[in-house]
């Protein structure tokens, strides 16, 4: 089913305001969630809202908390997220990294003690909209078996890389598993098989059945052993820079995460004309769709036809907004 963007944002705002979230922050939180669904990433938009609301009600997310800088050295800052709403913490942290990049050419905010950031690509688009290169990632609870094992010991640690471009930003947003758990849930809810094998079932057989992969907790790492190794290193660097938890210390409720936000003001070094020329030449040679390109088509369709929502998630939101 589809609903208008305004209707989706309004319902989210009303539900979030009822939690005690200040009006301005409720509006931003609602926009970040609605934008994710508008862009076709409903798995990390509206579909995650029930989880966010449950964590708020259980006291795992503090709607009154704001992140604070705990220490700094040059263009690197270490922030405490204070268990605040994950998407608001992440948005503020990327803003902080962008501000550092304006003054130093590059900036890094490492965030500890935070919550699920929902759609990671949000903060890549945020950086690119500000005209800077953005790189960010988060660790997660153990939900991915390292290569050669069958028990989850590492996280699928989403990584985002964004490059600004006047004709449409280039934004890569990917988990370290072939499909994120949110994507698996979306395919399952739609009753669709995965387009390619995405993990193992309980018998150890590669499968395209999302429910079987969720049950086994054995998603396939991207690039097999390479994705497994990259997931490990992202976790290690995030925990070290943020001074926060590593994957093996994160509980099943997936709170107290460590995240890193980097910004590079490349135009200050090379100039906008040069950066545009380099990016356009690379994309022209590519001759196929680039990361983030499909987002623009999805946005246009969402504006014209309404935002696609999963019926059960929409019903949950309507109830939360009305109660």
- Other Cβ atoms less than 10 A from the Cβ of 273: the count is 9
Q: Which of 6, 9, 44, 73 is catalytic?
A: 44
Q: Which two tokens stand for residue 72?
A: 């700094």
Catalytic status, residue 44: yes
203: buried, middle or exposed (CB in 10 Å: 19+, 13-18, 0-12)? exposed
Q: Which residues pair with 171 in a beta bridge?
A: 162
Ramachandran sector of residue 134 (left: φ over 0; alpha: ψ -120 to 50; beta: rest):
beta
How long a stretch of residues is the chain? 323
Query: Do the beta carbons of residue 18 and residue 320 sit within 8 Å?
Result: yes
Neighbouring residues of 152: CB distance < 8 A, sequence distance ≥ 6: 142, 143, 144, 145, 217, 218
**Residue 189 to residue 230: CA distance in whole angstroms:** 30
Query: What are the backbone angles phi and psi of residue 159, rounded to the nearest 5°?
Result: -125, 135
Residues belonging to the active site: 44
């Amino acid at each position: 089913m589809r609903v208008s963007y305004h209707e989706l944002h309004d319902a989210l705002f009303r539900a979030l305001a009822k939690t005690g979230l200040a009006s301005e922050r409720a509006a931003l939180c609602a926009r970040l969630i609605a934008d994710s669904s508008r862009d076709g990433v409903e798995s990390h938009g509206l579909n995650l809202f029930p989880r966010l609301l449950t964590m708020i009600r259980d006291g795992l997310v503090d709607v009154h908390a704001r992140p604070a800088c705990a220490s700094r050295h040059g263009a690197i800052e270490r922030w405490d997220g204070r268990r605040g709403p994950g998407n608001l913490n992440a948005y503020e942290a990327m803003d902080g990294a962008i501000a550092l990049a304006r003054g130093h050419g590059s900036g890094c905010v490492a965030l500890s003690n935070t919550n699920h950031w929902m759609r990671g690509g949000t903060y890549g688009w945020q950086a690119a909209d500000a005209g800077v290169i953005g790189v960010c990632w988060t660790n997660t609870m153990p939900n991915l078996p390292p290569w050669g094992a069958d028990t989850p010991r590492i996280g699928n640690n989403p990584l985002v890389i964004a490059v600004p471009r006047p004709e449409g930003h280039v934004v890569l947003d990917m988990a370290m598993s072939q499909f994120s758990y949110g994507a698996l849930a979306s395919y399952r809810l739609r009753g669709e098989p995965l387009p390619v094998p995405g993990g193992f079932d309980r018998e150890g057989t590669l499968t395209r059945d999302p429910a079987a992969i969720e049950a086994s907790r054995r998603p396939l790492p991207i690039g097999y052993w390479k994705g497994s190794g990259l997931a490990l290193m992202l976790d290690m660097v995030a925990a070290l820079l943020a001074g926060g938890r590593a994957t093996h210390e994160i509980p099943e409720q997936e709170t107290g995460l460590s995240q890193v936000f980097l910004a590079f003001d490349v135009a200050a070094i090379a100039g906008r004309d040069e950066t545009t020329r380099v990016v356009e030449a690379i994309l022209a040679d590519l001759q196929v769709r680039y990361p983030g390109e499909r987002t623009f088509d999805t946005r246009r369709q969402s504006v014209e036809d309404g935002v696609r929502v999963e019926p059960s998630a929409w019903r949950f939101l309507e109830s939360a907004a009305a109660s």
